Chain A
Amino acid sequence: MPPALPVSPRVVVLAGGLSHERDVSIRSGRRVADALRTAGVDVTVHDVDADLVPALSETRPDLVWPLLHGASGEDGSVRDVLELLTLRSVGTGPRASRIAWSKPIAKTSVTRAGLATPEFVTLPQSLFRELGANRILDAVVDKLGLPLVVKPSRGGSALGVTLVHAAEDLPRAMVACFAYSDTALIERAVQGTEVAVSVVELDGRPVALPAVEVVTDGPYDYDARYNPGRTEYFSPARLSTELASRAADVAVAAHQALGLRHLSRTDLIIDDDGRPWFLEVNVAPGMTETSLFPQAAEAGGHDLPTLYRTIVEGALAQD
């Protein structure tokens, strides 16, 4: 028997933290908190700082919703602490978070589940130190071809991500990447339609929301993501029913293969042959004014406050 649901659940939204995406997290947290309040949920927002554990221990909220992007917010460690405190939370548990947070490990895991992901290599900075840079980079270009995408093996908001068209631009991209992470993921850049498919569990079952297509006048970088106007979003994406359904299947399959919980967002490229390529998955998808998850929810006919309350209730009912 699931425990009886509180009439007005007390939820603590975690936002902020010390990651490179603090700013995005604060905005996501504020949006979700506002929506939950509209839906009659008793919400407080807390930063991840020295006061957090005492505050949670004292107030014992019904549920914690971490809207933390980057570092401890997504790598599972904050989830570990919530488990230690025996507090229930929205989103993926610590072990699965750890896997999803590492882009190369997530890619390998979904490949095992039969999904296609662009060919890639994972290279720690220490390796370049030991073996020298030029030979390795030459071998990467020989193997994967051009263009390439260089990205930090962990992290979001496209921070440290570079699309490399010419081999001579690769070293600069590596330096930019290593400023964010000590390990780089270099993958073949797939040309095609860029879409994000959000997944939300309804009645315990993962459901794909309509795919959102992203069209930018350049890379879908930090500015394109958070400065309204630079990016044109199509929600639902301009895909045939069949392609939309394939994209949805990939996102649900990734959600399940990686053991994700409650909600996730999978970023895909659908190539010119109609093949969906898994790029990465987000266990804590952005919830800002310009983020993809809320757009997908609205495209799917969901009222955000109601949907977020449904997620809260689902999480409360689960254990």
Chain B
Amino acid sequence: MTAESRPDELTSGPLPTSAASGTRLDRWIGSYADRTHGMRASEIRALFAVANRPEVVSLAGGMPCLDVLPMDVLSELTQRVVATRGAVALQYGSGQGDEGLREQILEVMRLEGIQAHPDDVVVTTGSQQALDLVTRLFINPGDVVVAEAPSYVGALGVFRAYQADVVHTPLDADGLIPEALEATLADLARQGRRVKFLYTVPNFHNPAGVTLSLERRPRILEICARYDVLVLEDNPYGLLGFEGDPLPAMRSMDDEGVIYLGSFSKTFAPGYRVGWAVAPHAIREKLVLASESAILCPSNASQLAISAYLSTFDWRGQIKQFRELYRERRDAMIGALSEHLPDATWTVPDGGFYTWVKLPDGLDAKAMLPRAVTARVAYVPGTAFYFNGQGTDHVRLSFCYPTPERIREGVRRLAGVVQGESELVSLFGTGGGVPGDSVQAPGPDLA
């Protein structure tokens, strides 16, 4: 090797063949739609690849615990559905969803005060599909969606895919803050920006764990009505409260200004992929058409299985069992946080799956994640729940899937990670994060 070579050798020497043009390993690189340009292969998602190994306590995913489901009963039910209604169950069905199931969904929603007609209900492939359909119907690139700060990562992903601009509005322990929402909407109106809808998870919020108080619900609806902003009420966890009765849904207070999304994924089982939307008449018509163009119809097999479950099994009792299970896990989580992470703060959820933890000052949750994975514990960094790179100092911890014992062990490991990272940060006087990162969360199957 010598250092005498000159730069012009790079071009003057004989070039091997095929050197003139490179490859990007994707011959369709020039064909993708603009909306794909933000899609990235994040190292954070790669780190989650270890989260499904048994050595790792995952406090990251949102998989419900299915251990308490009566598998023998479900097996028999499924068998019966195929034996007695196989020709329907395995056939295409109505784009709007099975009528019998839509009747039963009304019964489920009555627990939260919703009065509706079966025609108002559109069954979807999980409420995630409903979220996609609503966004498809309303969002042109650049339109504004107002969402809580923080907000559900899966919704942000949909909004991003349709090139919406998400403006966050703050939460406190009682959920959306009416005054702050009003200020946000007023500000956007002054800027002449069109807000298409408010996206909100009023009950046992993902990731924040908080619930919109009864007193605030009509106020939020009134503000949105005044600014002519539709409300998208996403309610997968409403029946999973640990104390008392469910609060009335926002949809129960306003038939015309709210699209309501419900789901069997958390109160029964996500594998069926059955959720639904309840929407004002004109919107519902379009939802059905949009759903038919996307999937033709929701799975009849899943719908009939759920329908059979609802009509023959004590599903209310099953939900009660889920609530007790998750309450015990919430208690384990909060107890372990109090014991091991005194310098952090967190929300204490009255239901649902998650607590939202603020790390000690200066820590960056995303930068810390590799250390956590090394210590065999996983969480979701707070930046996943914002559109704009906020949330670096927060993590979402879920208590739905691991046992109480594993939760305590996970939090204990996390405390060691936080301690190590705190030491580094004080040593170098800075966190390790890169600001402005995009949405990063595990896939749905990584608990």
Q: Is the CB of B24 within 8 A of A171?
A: no
CA distance A159 to B431 in the complex (A): 17
Q: Is the CB of A133 within 8 A of B29?
A: no
B41 at interface, CB cutoff 8 A: yes
A139 to chain B, nearest CB (A): 15
Of the listed stretches B172-180, B190-198, B368-376, chain A binds B368-376
B18 at interface, CB cutoff 8 A: yes
CA distance A19 to B373 in the complex (A): 8
A275 at interface, CB cutoff 8 A: yes
Q: Is the CB of B427 within 8 A of A133?
A: yes
Q: Is the CB of B9 within 8 A of A175?
A: no
Q: Is the CB of A227 within 8 A of B40?
A: yes
B422 to chain A, nearest CB (A): 11
User: What is the interface size of chain B, counting residues whose CB is below 8 A from a CB of the partner?
Assistant: 59
The answer to whether residues A274 and B5 also contact, given A229-B29, A233-B23, A240-B10 and a CB cut-off of 8 A, is yes
Question: B residues within 8 A CB of A244?
Answer: 16
The answer to whether residues A240 and B12 also contact, given A176-B432, A273-B7, A275-B1 and a CB cut-off of 8 A, is yes
The listed residue (A180, A193, A249) touching B370 by CB distance below 8 A is A180
Question: B residues within 8 A CB of A236?
Answer: 16, 18-19
Q: Is the CB of A232 within 8 A of B23?
A: yes
B367 at interface, CB cutoff 8 A: yes
B47 at interface, CB cutoff 8 A: yes
Q: Is the CB of B10 within 8 A of A222?
A: no
A257 to chain B, nearest CB (A): 14
- The residue on B at minimum CB distance from A247 is B1
Query: Which A residues form the contact surface with B (CB < 8 A)?
Result: 18-24, 26, 49, 114-116, 125, 128-129, 132-133, 157, 159-160, 171-180, 193, 210, 213, 215, 221-223, 225-244, 246, 249-250, 272-276, 289-290, 295, 299
Q: Is the CB of A22 within 8 A of B49?
A: yes
Question: A residues within 8 A CB of B11?
Answer: 240
CA distance A235 to B24 in the complex (A): 11
Q: Is the CB of B367 within 8 A of A242?
A: no
B15 at interface, CB cutoff 8 A: yes
Q: Is the CB of A241 within 8 A of B424?
A: no
The answer to whether residues A273 and B22 also contact, given A171-B428, A176-B367, A250-B1 and a CB cut-off of 8 A, is no
The answer to whether residues A241 and B41 also contact, given A133-B427, A275-B3 and a CB cut-off of 8 A, is no
**Known pairs A22-B46, A172-B431, A236-B19. 11 more at Cβ < 8 A?**
A20-B47, A20-B373, A129-B427, A173-B432, A174-B428, A178-B371, A178-B424, A223-B40, A223-B43, A229-B25, A241-B14
- The residue on A at minimum CB distance from B39 is A227
Q: Is the CB of A242 within 8 A of B428?
A: no
